[in-house]
Structures are given as structure tokens and as C-alpha cells.
Chain A
Amino acid sequence: MEHAPATGRTRALRRLLVNGEPVDVPVAPHETLLEVLREGLGLTGTKHGCELGECGACAVLVDGVPVLACLTLAVELAEHQRVDTIEGLADGARLHPLQEAFAALGGLQCGYCTPGMLMTAKALLAREPRPTAAQVREALAGNLCRCTGYGPIVEAVLAAAPHVAGPAPLGAPAAAEARP
């Protein structure tokens, strides 16, 4: 690969902020964020499903916004761009409330869609701390699941919402939202 002429096809180091950690990763112009995460950084929690933008299995957060890693060229990310993946969701050994709820309520079976579901749901709860079931379904409308029939997933997101610590509304008492 390194024999390619200097036409921009060779890899250049790019610094990203992945799950809060600055990492320098070599990136070729034609490589997607999915390839860079899974193969460059060994973060295989982000799944490759259709790889064409038709399933949501590779959903990650770029600056907090759910996007498809399979359709994002890594070279287009800014220096120090914030990328959050499933590997950063748990707090050490303590699962995130969304993970707890998915496990407790059967929000997953085979698990392949789960990283994309969880990251998308995380972004929803950051934007909408108390979503309705309709808002959950709309937010997850780009994540296919062939196992669960979606019911337990929506239920799990709704159940997790009160346990996800978010910035308290202005004027609200401070410790209103405790983790389980």
C-alpha cells in the first residue's frame, strides 16, 4: 500500500477524539470511518451490516450526532473530531443505563444491530431526555433489527431514559437524576 505514488492515496495520520481519547490513526482518502474504527483502531464493536446506508448497524456519533460510519470518509472528519462508539458507552465495568435496560427487557437477541441502536438511542436521550414512544420509534427508524420486532427496544429506551443523567434543566434541583 505504501508504494502508491504521492497522489493522496497514501495514508496520512489523523488525530481523532475517539470515546474521549485522542488517537492518531492512519487514514487513506477512500477509507470509511467504519474501516478506520474496526481495522485501524481495532474497535470492532461498531458492526458492518449492509455497508450501503440501508441498515444502521454501523451508527456512531460524530459530535454527538448519529451518522453511518460506512458512508463517512474518515478523511472528511476534522482534526480532533469527536467520535463516540459503543466501546465508550459503559463506564468501566458499569453498564450504561441503556445497556442495562436492553439486557433486562430483551432489547436484543442476536445483538448485531445493538451497538447502532444504543448509540442512536444515546443521542436521542441527550437531545430529548424524556422521549415519547413515538419519538423513540422515529429516532430509531434508521436501525433495522430482524430479531426483536422492535417492541422491547422501544420499551428499553423508555425505561432507561429516567436513569440517564443529563444536564438538569435550569432552576431544577441538582441531584434529580441518579444512576441506578
Chain B
Amino acid sequence: MMRCPPFRYLAPETAAEAARLVAAHGPGAALLAGGTDLLPRLKRGQAAPDLVVGLTRVAALRRARAGADGLELGAGVTLAATARHAALTPAHRALALAAGGAATPHVRNMGTLGGNLCADTRCGYYDQPRPWREAIGFCLKAPAGCAEPAAARAGEVAGTCWVAPGGRRCWAVASSDAAPALIALGAEVTVCSGEGSRRLAVAALHRDDGRAPLLLAPGEVLTTIHVPALGPAWRTTYWKLRRRGSFDFPVGAVALAVRLAASGEVLEARAALGGVASRPLVVETDALLGRRLDDEAVGAFAEAAVAPARPLDNTDYQPAWRRRALREAVAGALREVRGDPPEALGVLARAAARVLPRA
């Protein structure tokens, strides 16, 4: 039986108290929400906190509220509850697909939306049992066995990255499904600390470092996800590439949101890629503005969108295939939002966006 190492456990009743406990304890403290990201890391020896602060008793984190300006989802709302939330409109399709397509039904019943945004980066050289990692001399993300985000934030580098052994950075992959979708929807989050709270765009939550992917101070707790109300002119989607129709993290993903004029021209657009860098990649969309989504615009946008992607040899599938398939997924997603019928979207569509019927 794989077991978690022993730790102290506290279950505060407010997020501010949780933040204070973590801040006061220092780097040996870990926050626990749904447990689907933290517990495997504890069992693999990737983390060994001496204090775990459970968030299950923080009732406010499980609330969801719909208003005229959009939807406020507590960070502790499960992925399953997010995907089927009654206040999601057809324009929120990208979020329903991303939350409803993460992992498996069981994991979605446990894992939370906030936890998915904060999930650790993943890598084939890192997500292995401790003896496996020890046999290769560990890696730059965890040079002594456990991940060291504090060292990363301080700029210290030790150990070898087996993905790019000559380099001095960690290439572990941002694997959240929800993050690209929420970026495309223009969502924001509230994080609280012992001193107060602040609000930032989901697009500003992550940084391009596989060792410390969150731009949160230690002791800050993500409490709320603010999803804006989007009018009916918005069309959004999320396409996820993976080997199986369940279980797998994305090896490439695209979330798209466009607001179309009645004439078919793009008035606003947002897009983000998942699974191809250490953070969700925000895609430049200015080239789409004022244009109709004809095949030429779609092809050019897809080509440009994947240019900054850096798929490396640390996930399932070969990097070159992932880049090519992701380009096709971006094009397919764009054809979907311009209104092409599902049967015209090709085999990738059935694999990538199979979870929900067309809105």
C-alpha cells in the first residue's frame, strides 16, 4: 500500500485563518482541497509537509453565486459541480468542457476548480515513484526528492533537468484544464492572505517556471473564481488532446472565446493554450479582429497561435506530433465557434471536445 507520510492536520473554518496558518508555518505547510493533486504527490514523496491545512471546513469556498455580472464560484466547488452549474450559459461552454473533461468522473467529484488552477506542473521525469526518480539522480524540480518552489522563487538552481539537460530551468508542463478555459472567458480570481485579499486575472496567476508555477505568495489562498457574464454573441470552446477519452492530462489544449458581429466579423477574441509550456499560454488574437473567420484566417491564426508553444519530450506523445495536432485543434476550435457543424470538424473534434453535446 502506498501511504502518505505523517503530518499534523488542521482544519480552519475561514480562508483567512488557513492563510495565516500556512504563512506562520512556512514552507513546510501545504493546503489541501480535493486532494487529487496533493495526495499522489505525498505518496510519491514529491512533497513532505509537516503541516497540512485542510480547506473542507471552509464553507464559503464551496458556495457559488450567479449575478448580473457573472458567476462567482468558490474555489472549493468541485469540477463536477462546475461543469453542470445551472448558471453556466452556452457562452460558458469552454469552462463546462474543461471542467467536465478533466481526469475522471470520480476525480471531478473530488477535485476543485481552485485546486485545478493551482495544480502542480507535470513531467515524465518527475511524476514517478521516489525510487525511480532517485535512480536518475532526481531532477531540477526536486533535486533532493521533494519539489522546492521556495528555492525556485529565490532563484536557486540545483540538479539536472532531464528534458533539457544543458539548461537551468524546469520544463514541467502546466496541465490544468480549467486555466486556459478561464483565461479565454476573461475570468479573475480572488486570493486572500492573513492581511487581506486581492483580485487578479487568471491570465496573471501563473509564471513560466515548472518549479514554482503560481504567482501567489506563500500563505495566499485562492478563494473565488469570477466568471464574467458573456452575452449571446460570445462563442467559446475548449479542445483537449490526450490519448484516452478519460483520465489523461492534456498533452495540448486550446480554449477560445470570440464575440462575433451579426455580419460574422470578430469583435473580440481571447485564446489560451494548455499543456505546451510551464504556464497556460495566452494567445495573441489581434490578427482576428475585424476579420471574418474564413479558412484563410483560421489557418493563419492556428499557425501563429502554436508558434510560442514549446512541447518537449516530457509528456505522452512526441513533441512534433503535439505541435501539429494542436495547430489542427486550434483551427478546429475556431471552425467550431464560427458555426461549422460538428460532423464537419473531423476526427480530432470527436476526440478533443467529446464531453458535451454542442451547445
Contact = CB atoms under 8 A, between A and B. Distances in A.
Interface of A: 4, 7-9, 28-32, 34-35, 38-39, 48, 51-54, 56, 59, 65-68, 70-73, 75-76, 120, 138-139, 141-142, 144
B50 to A, nearest CB: 8
B112 to A, nearest CB: 13
A38 B1 CA distance: 11
B105 A53 contact: no
Contacts of B110: 67-68, 71-72
A73 B54 contact: yes
| Chain B interface size range | 20 to 34
Given A52-B43, A141-B246, A75 B9 contact: yes
Interface in B1-56: 1-11, 32, 35-36, 39-40, 42-44, 52, 54, 56
A172 B42 CA distance: 50
B43 A51 contact: yes
B39 A54 contact: no
Contact of A4 (B4, B6, B52, B54): B6
B2 to A, nearest CB: 4
B216 interface: no
A104 B264 CA distance: 56
Contacts of B3: 30-32, 35
Contact of B107 (A28, A73, A142): A142
B106 A59 contact: yes
A35 B3 CA distance: 8
B39 A32 contact: yes
B109 interface: yes
Contacts of A141: 104-105, 245-247
A39 B1 CA distance: 11
Contact of B8 (A8, A32, A34, A51): A8
**Nearest 3 pairs of A and B residues by beta carbon:** A142-B104, A29-B9, A141-B246
B298 interface: no
A174 B355 CA distance: 36
24 contacts: A7-B8, A8-B9, A8-B10, A9-B7, A29-B6, A30-B4, A32-B39, A35-B1, A35-B3, A48-B1, A53-B103, A59-B106, A66-B109, A71-B107, A72-B35, A73-B54, A75-B9, A76-B32, A76-B56, A141-B104, A142-B103, A142-B104, A142-B105, A142-B246
A73 B9 contact: yes
Given A53-B36, A53-B40, A142 B106 contact: yes
B175 to A, nearest CB: 14
Contacts of A35: 1, 3
A125 B224 CA distance: 33
Contacts of B40: 52-53, 71
A71 B105 contact: no
Contacts of A76: 11, 32, 35, 54, 56
> Chain B CB within 10 Å — which of A38, A65, A138, A141 has the most?
A141
Given A35-B3, A52-B40, 17 more contacts: A4-B6, A8-B7, A29-B6, A32-B39, A51-B43, A53-B103, A53-B104, A53-B107, A67-B106, A71-B39, A71-B107, A71-B110, A72-B35, A72-B110, A73-B32, A75-B11, A76-B35
A30 B5 contact: yes
> Chain A CB within 10 Å — which of B5, B32, B39 has the most?
B39
B171 to A, nearest CB: 22
Interface in B74-112: 103-107, 109-110
Contacts of A4: 6
Interface string B244-272: 01110000000000000000000000000
A57 to B, nearest CB: 11
Contacts of A54: 247
A9 B7 CA distance: 6
B138 to A, nearest CB: 19
Contacts of A8: 7-10
Nearest to A48: B1
A125 to B, nearest CB: 14
Given A32-B4, A73-B54, A65 B109 contact: yes
Contacts of B43: 51-52
B35 A138 contact: no
Contacts of B246: 141-142
A46 B42 CA distance: 21
Contacts of A65: 109
Contacts of B39: 32, 53, 70-71, 73
A75 B4 CA distance: 13
Nearest to A139: B105
Contacts of A138: 105
A67 B108 CA distance: 9
